[in-house]
Amino acid sequence: MEDYYYFYLQPSQTVTVLMYSLTELTKKLSTIVNKKDPESPSIFKDDEENLLRDCIRKFLIYLNQLPSDHILSSSDIVNGLNLKPHPEGGFYRRYIWTKEKSAIFYLLPTGSVSSWHRLKETRETWKWLYGETLNVAHISNDSEEIGVFQLTQSEDVVIDEGMYGRGKWGDWFGAYHEGNGFSLAYCQCTPPFEFAKFELANEQIVNRFKSLHPTYTEIIERLTIKTKES
């Protein structure tokens, strides 16, 4: 049984920890590209898995040519890992896809957020890879409980039916960081992510969040999906 530690932050707190270590990023990417599970074969079509691994290997070659104190830009990572825009905000690329799980690289550039969303019957684990500490905001599926958890180099964040001891799926969550940097994370879903199980919070849901948790209004509004009309 794994232990996960959650840090509740008051809305007024600002926690900014810059962790731009090329050594750590290279180590983590090397582990990812070299890891294959024969017990859980990929279900990518055609040669897509090999193309994804080749993309990571080429990015690793680029990283190994840089000075150890070099700080990457978000554009370096978007281009190096061939990331694309995600509907919730930020950029992503799926690189693991089996019958049991899926995983993506997920990048939040400066000023971007992961808007309020939820996944049905899916456990999602967030792991830090590079950049700033990431704050993962969470609201229970009945909207009664709210908290902000800190994703760091040493602390993961897990969204599942066990949050707040309620034993129910469908909790809402989103993510943001402070300061002028960006954050790169690894997000693993069990069972595999499906857009059919993905839902963005609409205006009515967000208004309920704000009515129940007025002291968190700033964070709630910050993670509200922006439409063309707004």
Q: Residue 70: pLDDT above 80?
A: yes
The number of folded domains in the chain is 1
CA within 13 Å, CB half, 213: 23
Domain CATH for 186: 2.60.120.10
Instruction: State the pLDDT at residue 33.
Output: 86
Residue 75 is assigned to a structural domain of this protein? yes
- Does residue 2 lie within any of the structural domains? no
Query: What Å distances lie between residue 188 and 122, 123, 218, 228, CA to CA?
Result: 10, 8, 28, 30
Query: What does the pLDDT read at residue 164?
Result: 53
Percent of the chain scored above 70 by pLDDT?
87
Q: Is residue 9 part of a domain?
A: no
Which pLDDT score, from 0 to 100, does residue 105 have?
97
pLDDT digits (tens, 9 = 90+) for 189-218: 999 999 999 999 999 999 999 999 999 999
| Residue 50 within a domain | yes
Instruction: Give the lowest-confidence range in 12-26, 58-72, 159-173.
Output: 12-26
Residue 59 has pLDDT above 80, yes or no: yes
32: in domain: yes
Res. 39 pLDDT band, cuts 50 70 90: low
Per-position b or e across 17-41, b if 16+ CB within 10 A of its CB: bebbbbeebbebbeebbeeeeeeee
Instruction: Answer yes or no: is 227 within a domain.
Output: no
Q: Which comes out higher in pLDDT, residue 56 or 2?
A: 56
Q: Which domain holds residue 53?
A: 18-222
pTM exceeds cut of 0.75: yes
Q: What is the DSSP letter of 227?
A: P
